Each structure stands twice: as structure tokens, then as C-alpha cells.
Amino acid sequence: MRLEEIFPFSLSEGLKGLEVKGICDDSRLLRPGELFFIREGEGFDVFSVLKDIAHKPQAFVADRKDREKVFFYLKDKPVIFVDNLWETFQKAVDRNNNLLQGLTSLFQD
């Protein structure tokens, strides 16, 4: 799926056609080509693993307030900054599921 299917709001030209293979917010489950949401877990500092996983995701989504930390670890990867990371994650998962359901129904007809 393309990023603009997940994020219908204005994306920079460089991000619009970017293809992602899925959505993930758990660094242990992250697969190459996915869109990774940089969300801290309870008792877990996600920024401590960013350097080690930076090669896997196609792009990242981060809270705008973490901009400085994100750029410290991710120098050459596309990052989408949002105001409410949890809400954006939930909407992205919903859009992803709707897209997948639509594709599944096409093959069932």
C-alpha cells in the first residue's frame, strides 16, 4: 500500500508514492518494508533500539515532540511527524484493515 492511502492528509512529494508492506509499532516484530510507529512502551525506551532497526522500515511515524531525538538516530530515513501518535496509529491500522478487507472482497467475488 502507498503512504497516501494510510495518511490521506498532505504528505511531501517524496513520501506520496512510497510503498509500505504493513504497519508495526513493536521493534521485535518489525519486518523489512513496514511503516514503523515510534511509540514508547511501558518500561521500554524505543529510542534505545532505533539505531539497530533503522534499516528495516520503509518509513517512520513519530510524535512531533520527539523530533530532535528521532533525527539524532535516523539521519536518512523518511519520517512523518504527527501531533497525536496513538490516535494516528489507530487510524492507520483501521485504514490498513479497510484496504485489506477491500482487496479480500475483490478476490472472493
DSSP code, position 55: T
pLDDT of residue 33: 92
Strand boundaries in the chain, DSSP class E: 23-24, 35-37, 59-63, 79-82
The CA-atom distances, in angstroms, between 40 and each of 43, 63, 75, 107 are 8, 10, 20, 37
Closest to 74 in 3D by CA, of 97, 96, 47, 93: 47
Q: What are the per-10-residue average pLDDT scores of the chain (109 residues)?
A: 79 83 89 90 82 90 92 87 88 73 44
pLDDT of residue 22: 87
pTM of the entire predicted model: 0.81
Encode burial over 45-75: b for 16+ CB neighbours within 10 A, e otherwise: ebeeebeebeeebbbbbbbeebeebbeebbe
pLDDT of residue 37: 92
pLDDT of residue 31: 92
Strand order in the sheet with 79-82: 23-24, 35-37, 59-63, 79-82
Sketch out the chain's domains with CATH numbers.
3-95 (3.40.1390.10)
